[in-house]
Amino acid sequence: MHGLLIGPGWGGGPVVVRGRESRSHGEGVQCDRSDRSRKGGTAVNADVPWPADTSEAWARVLTMQTKLHQWATGDPARRFDDVFNLVYDPAFLAAAWNRVAGNKGGRTAGVDGIAPRSVTPDRVSGMLADLRESVKNGEFVPERVRQKSIPKGNGKVRSLGIPTMTDRIVQASLKLVLEPIFEVDFVPSSYGFRPRRRAQDAIAEIHYYASRGYVEVFEADITACFDEIDHDALMQRVRGRITDKRVLRLTRGFLKAGVLSEDGVNRDTFTGTPQGGILSPLLANIALSVVDEHFQRKWEALGPQWSRTKYQRAGGATMKMVRYADDFVVLVRGTHADAEALWDEVAAVLAPMGLRLSVEKTMVTHIDTGFDFLGWHIQRRRIRGHGGKTAIYTYPSWKSLASIKDKVRTLTRRASHRTLADLLRRLNPALRGWCTYFQHGVVKHLFSYIDHFAFWRIVGWLKKRHPKLNMRTLVRRHLPGWQIRDQGIEFFRCQQVTVARYRYRGTRIPTPWTNALA
């Protein structure tokens, strides 16, 4: 096996299991019983070939994921009882390694002291082969995660749990198996940590319904969501689709692995799924889908649009929930009292999962007052020059604006960089990322403001680096034509970013496996 550090490619191709295509009642997850031998309850597939490169690995994974997604879609009651062999399938492990080594956390080590990016290419084959045998034979046991605290914008800290390198690989492989199955059951109004969905989709849905009379907003905040999810309740939801005891045992093993705190104390984990684990976002979505399903049932119970309109005219309240990870809002077309009543309703839905609403941060707001969500501020305001007409405006929140300004200030401190080119290499990605995220809102004036702010911060940096030069000489030598560039790198101009409304996609967002089926 070679070339596993090549970037992932998506393509087609057969997935070979146990030397041939696997079958499950004429399909593909389980083998025929006559062709299966058991050792500790694990199906033997020793003759599965390793992929030649990363592209082949991802092609084989996509093919198998598409089948899993297709079967789960075709039978909503189907429960998969033999998918453990895919967790240690060579293609899944190779794809998992590619994802682990390529993400931002690849430079960070867990309690094993091994950072994935420190593993040289010549050691990858042997490492994955040993890991595969360990998982296959049931010898693999998840290790404790290393706790690391990072500061939050409100002055508090968030605790991350950093798994070991091998735990990350197995988690990534397990996620590749579970995700196409559970994606079938997730409702369209859930957007966080799901393939081909983004925060802009959530904002677009809020804009769509707020423009149609959903003006009371229940802003929900869950207290320590990732830390307090009840393991038994979560596993019960996982069992709704998965009955393979080995997969269930492995999943629970990751939940119960424990934590090595920053002060060197080993602590057991009785609730929660650690932030920082590759599998954690999927497990959190499975847990929080109880809220999605609750409001989806209420929505569907009202029938088609004409039926909902009739219900609204009779004084009934209709509600639409939009969730991104553990942040969600419920848009209400009704009275303020209807929105306030959601306190008890949502709390009752969350309680079986061991979760509770934050009394300090959960609130009911009117759209005319506006509210912050995912870094955006959403508010109904008058349109200038349109005779009192109103519209829903979306633009960066005050915190988001302050955050990018603080970032620019930090990067343009006098001693932060040796050359202007070094400064631009750090500053440009920060500005580009911020503008890309917010370019679909009412932001043209803010982009001009940030552009102006960053430009003069750079000029100030140059003046401090060259204190003996007057302004005219500084401009002639370092800002010819008032253009900021150095060593072929130009200053990214926020004011030149195209601003366009993001198209609301509703229920039409395809999955990677939906496209593969076409």
* pLDDT in the model for residue 104: 86
Token code pair at residue 492? 């990214």
What is this structure's pTM? Answer: 0.88
Residues 6+ apart with CB under 8 A from 280: 161, 226, 273, 274
Which amino acid belongs to residue 39? Answer: K
Residues 6+ apart with CB under 8 A from 147: 159, 160, 161, 162, 259, 260, 261, 262
pLDDT digits (tens, 9 = 90+) for 301-356: 999 999 999 999 999 999 999 999 999 999 999 999 999 999 999 999 999 999 99
CA 433 – CA 517 distance, rounded (Å)? 33
Element (H, E) at 159: strand 157-162
CA 236 – CA 248 distance, rounded (Å)? 10
CA 43 – CA 85 distance, rounded (Å)? 6
Cβ atoms of 495 and 447 within 8 Å: the answer is: yes
CA 343 – CA 324 distance, rounded (Å)? 19
Q: What is the CB-side half-sphere exposure of residue 350 using CA atoms within 13 A?
A: 23
CA 267 – CA 145 distance, rounded (Å)? 10
CA 15 – CA 59 distance, rounded (Å)? 8
Q: 3-class DSSP state for residue 341?
A: coil
Cβ atoms of 358 and 343 within 8 Å: the answer is: no
* pLDDT in the model for residue 54: 94
CA 103 – CA 106 distance, rounded (Å)? 6
Element (H, E) at 359: none
CA 186 – CA 181 distance, rounded (Å)? 10
CA 391 – CA 393 distance, rounded (Å)? 6
Going by their DSSP bridges, the two strands 259-260 and 266-267 should be labelled as antiparallel
Residues 6+ apart with CB under 8 A from 111: 143, 144, 145, 146, 164, 260
Average pLDDT per consecutive 10 residues, the chain (518 residues; last block may be shorter): 37 31 38 35 58 95 96 96 97 97 91 94 95 96 92 75 96 98 96 95 97 97 94 98 97 95 88 91 97 97 94 95 96 97 98 96 97 97 88 96 96 87 96 97 97 96 92 92 93 96 91 76
* pLDDT in the model for residue 433: 97
Q: Output DSSP code: residue 150.
A: E
Which amino acid belongs to residue 323? Answer: R
Q: Which of 42, 36, 8 is nearest to 20 (CA)?
A: 36
Going by their DSSP bridges, the two strands 42-43 and 327-333 should be labelled as unpaired
* pLDDT in the model for residue 47: 66
What are the DSSP calls for 287-356, one per residue?
Answer: HHHHHHHHHHHHHHHT-SHHHHHHHHHTT--EEEEEEETTEEEEEEES-HHHHHTHHHHHHHHHGGGT--
pLDDT digits (tens, 9 = 90+) for 88-144: 999 999 999 999 999 888 999 999 999 999 999 999 999 999 999 999 999 999 999
Token code pair at residue 393? 């405006």
Q: What is the CB-side half-sphere exposure of residue 98 using CA atoms within 13 A?
A: 23
What is the chain's Cα-based Rg?
26
Tokens 């990018």 sit at which residue?
404
